Amino acid sequence: MRLVHDISLEQRQKLMMTPELRQAIAILQMSTLELDEYLSQELEENPFLEVRDEPEALEVEVKTDDERFDIEWWEYFLDKSDIGYLGPTDSSSEGKGYDNLLTRAPTLHEHLLFQASITLDDEELAVAEFLIGSIDDNGYLGVSVEEAADLLNVPVTRVEEVLKVVQTFEPYGVGARNLPECLHIQLVQTGKINPIAEKIVKDYLHDLAKGRLAKIAARLGITIQDVQNTADLIRTLDPKPGRRYGNNEDIRYLVPDIIVEKVDNEYIVQVSDGNLPRLMTNQFYQNMLKQPGLFGADARKYMEDRFASALWVIRSIEHRRLTLYKVANCIVNIQREFLDRGVKYLKPLNLKQVADMIGLHESTISRATTGKYIQTPQGVFELKYFFGSGVSAAEGVEQYSSRSVKKMIKEMIEAEDVVNPLSDQKIAAELAKVGIQISRRTVAKYRTELGIMSAAARRRY
């Protein structure tokens, strides 16, 4: 075969990811809080962007026949002899802003250090500070006694003595090295310790979690009722006692991106961007850009790029708002029964259905719903909450959302006879009576995802 070099013209269609397109995609994925931060940064960096001034409310001037009324009214507020609020004086106003009136709860480590400072002497306090600093957010000690002794250059017995004192601090259970020790400390400190509870916590927690009450009763030579009563006691304990003291540096705010309200039996969808700045292009810089010869080549190129970027940001924000509105409106139309009656009436829905209805690509719907929250009469949900698989009804049509089926399973278990709890097979049979075709294995899967134990573990004796 002979090879021939030739030149041909061929037309191809492909998507080019320009910087502007990447920017639009990024803005679409942002939550309201993230977009607010992004716009603040853009306003600082791009001279062509500025905040549009909102029309101020018209001021109504009230005039009276007696102008002394206005003067006396103003002097009344300036009078500092009244027993009410006396405005801050120049000498005392410093340091009395609203920020100085704020307070916060102590962290876990601050709470433990305070207890150590009023309990231990100076030598013991140095060891306690190291141990407390090694306690994680759940309340567990993250270093061994031997390691602490080696690092502090003190005897192991001294570290063990101080650790025992730290383990008496509130919240009870902190300073433990494992779950059995954590639960044991709580039983001791609350005065609920007994030989059966101590033995189960030490040796049979795994069996207890699996619901093997009969096995534990046989091993300890006690009745199943005794094991069950002890299990009820153990479930009142906190396996992660440090969680009740939150980390003040890790604060998350959830602001709904979309608000749905019912007005005259109709649901109104509103994109919640009221706090976002309304942007516009700076007219002064636009006029400068139109003047020939005012800038050099590099400066003009920079100005033109900034102007194009400003226009693209404004368009991307509008595109984001319209996309969110279309997606939310589509969800509201499909899930109206859910909005009226609750989770049990949630319908199965996927990204393709919404994409086909509003004429967008599935990837666009996925980006628009990521990290976004919607406030409804039924509560605040992530938009992804409404997308889930369906369960076939008797006629083979998917009309039950997996979330609604889980809700039904949970309600059935909550209403069951605790002496004879419902098995997974029985739950599947009960669901079949209302037209929901679901296997025993799927029931077990949903039950596990709900954090509900098996029938054997739920049974009361």
Report how far residue 43's alpha carbon sits from residue 48's, in angstroms, rounded to the nearest whole number: 8
Report how far residue 392's alpha carbon sits from residue 378's, in angstroms, rounded to the nearest whole number: 25
Q: Does 354 have pLDDT greater than 70? A: yes
Residue 427 near residue 412, CB atoms below 8 Å:
yes
- Report the range out of 26-30, 53-57, 115-119 with the highest average pLDDT: 115-119
pLDDT of the residue at 169: 94
Cα-based torsion angle of the residue sequence 46, 52, 53, 55 in order, rounded to the nearest 10 degrees = 180
Report how far residue 390's alpha carbon sits from residue 139's, in angstroms, rounded to the nearest whole number: 41
Q: Is 150 or 461 the better-scoring residue by pLDDT? A: 150
- Exposure class string for 293-320: b at 16+ Cβ within 10 A, else e: eeeeeeeeeebeebbebbebbbebbebb
Q: What is the pLDDT of residues 33-83, one digit of tens each?
A: 888 888 888 888 888 888 877 554 434 444 444 444 444 444 444 444 444
The whole-model pTM stands at 0.62
Q: Does 94 have pLDDT greater than 90? A: no
Range of weakest confidence among 120-129, 145-154, 227-236, 252-261: 252-261
Q: What is the pLDDT of residues 254-300, one digit of tens each?
A: 788 899 999 988 999 998 876 777 888 888 888 888 887 777 788 88
Q: Does 389 have pLDDT greater than 90? A: no
pLDDT of the residue at 135: 93
Q: Got the DSSP string for 369-435?
A: HTT-EEEETTEEEEGGGG-B-EEEBTTS-EEEEHHHHHHHHHHHHHTS-TTSPPPHHHHHHHHHHTT
Residues in the chain: 461
Q: What is the pLDDT of residues 297-321, one digit of tens each?
A: 888 888 888 888 888 888 888 888 9
pLDDT of the residue at 116: 92
pLDDT of the residue at 73: 40
Q: Give the chain's largest Cα–Cα span.
A: 110
SS3 262: strand
Q: Which helix (H) or strand (E) holds 269?
A: strand 266-271
Q: What is the pLDDT of residues 136-195, one digit of tens each?
A: 989 999 999 999 999 999 999 999 999 999 999 999 999 999 999 999 999 999 999 999
Q: 14 in the Ramachandran plot: left (φ > 0), alpha (ψ -120 to 50) or beta? A: beta
- Report the range out of 75-84, 208-217, 393-402 with the highest average pLDDT: 208-217
Report how far residue 286's alpha carbon sits from residue 184's, in angstroms, rounded to the nearest whole number: 72
Q: Does 17 have pLDDT greater than 90? A: no
Average pLDDT value for the chain: 82
- Exposure class string for 64-81: b at 16+ Cβ within 10 A, else e: eeeeeeeeeeeeeeeeee
Q: Is 4 or 324 the better-scoring residue by pLDDT? A: 324
In the chain the domains, ranked by start, together with CATH numbers, are 108-244 (no CATH), 258-386 (no CATH), 390-458 (1.10.10.60)
Report how far residue 184's alpha carbon sits from residue 270's, in angstroms, rounded to the nearest whole number: 53
Q: Which helix (H) or strand (E) holds 281?
A: strand 279-281
